[in-house]
Structure 1
């Protein structure tokens, strides 16, 4: 174990890049990945999310101050775009004065309880794209 999750993520990505002879080191940006991991930490640990039940799902008012607010504004809309349509969900992120309102709904009543059960951070953890996203970010291919 590397001792710290963000460090471990960076270590894994660096190992992948170093093992790939096609890595274009002129484009690699590990610092961008580090900043993104800081954003993930801010949203996961410091954002406040208040749920409101809506027809077919829930709306999460996600707020924070300072660095956390900046991270919310970068991450939540990007993630909403990434998972819109997953499980038949409609996912929308709208800016708010102190954060973002994330609304997730579905026509299937079973998905309604799924959405509500996951809550905000469970919704943010949806999808298997995170690892690929982190690698692409480190390669200089993707930015929020």
Structure 2
């Protein structure tokens, strides 16, 4: 059986106001100094495209950017992994004392993304939260166990679940810049 994964575009943007002069619009040529107000989106596309666009702008403005090392394709691959993980990962959860055990399927593109992301994110989660984060992989699945040794954040861990735990922490933006600069893969 073949499974077809279709990319999903998630379009989100905030509207901002931009002014343009009437000289740019033929219907206002008779009013030389008249201004019109046009509403423009601030995001240039879906979330992944917007992230790449923003990082390209940051790199272009940084005089220390080493263009020989920049790897936007690697960033794109990672952003595709993030999308595959969020939209398609198959996860079974089990509440355990002090936390949560999650079993993630390694099948298909979402499973491949999980295989690259969960083992890398597990130790980062532990260092940022103080929770125990243990990742064990086998041929068919990844088992990720997150617990609070102090038993204080158990309800938070359980409420976040797999996807919330994957999104926890403030390292993602720096990680994406590092990938784009060709410095790090996690």
Q: TM-score when scaled to structure 1?
A: 0.95
1:112 matches 2:141? no
Q: Contact conserved, 1:85 with 1:91, CA < 8 A, in 2?
A: no
Give the stretch that moved more between structures: 62-71 or 97-106. Answer: 62-71
Partner of 1:138: 180
Give the stretch that moved more between structures: 31-40 or 86-95. Answer: 86-95
Deviation of 1:64 after TM superposition, in Å, equals 4.4
Q: Residue 76 of structure 1 is aligned with which of 106, 118, 121?
A: 118
In structure 2, runs of 5+ residues without a counterpart are: 1-42
Partner of 1:47: 89
Q: Residue 89 of structure 1 is aligned with which of 115, 126, 131?
A: 131
Deviation of 1:99 after TM superposition, in Å, equals 2.7
In structure 1, runs of 5+ residues without a counterpart are: none
Deviations 1:110-132 (A, max 9, x none): 31111001000000001000000
RMSD: 1.2
Deviations 1:31-64 (A, max 9, x none): 0000000111111110011111111100000114
2:184 match: secondary structure: coil
1:61 match: secondary structure: strand
Give the stretch that moved more between structures: 62-71 or 43-52. Answer: 62-71
Number of paired residues? 144
For residues 141 and 15 of structure 1, the distance between their equivalents in structure 2, rounded to whole angstroms, comes to: 18
Mark the structure with the bigger radius of gyration.
2
For residues 182 and 136 of structure 2, the distance between their equivalents in structure 1, rounded to whole angstroms, comes to: 27
Deviation of 1:109 after TM superposition, in Å, equals 2.6
Q: TM-score when scaled to structure 2?
A: 0.74
**Between structures 1 and 2, the one with greater helix share:** 1
1:114 match: secondary structure: helix
For residues 82 and 136 of structure 1, the distance between their equivalents in structure 2, rounded to whole angstroms, comes to: 15
Give the stretch that moved more between structures: 61-70 or 44-53. Answer: 61-70
Deviations 1:80-112 (A, max 9, x none): 021113332000111033231111001233311
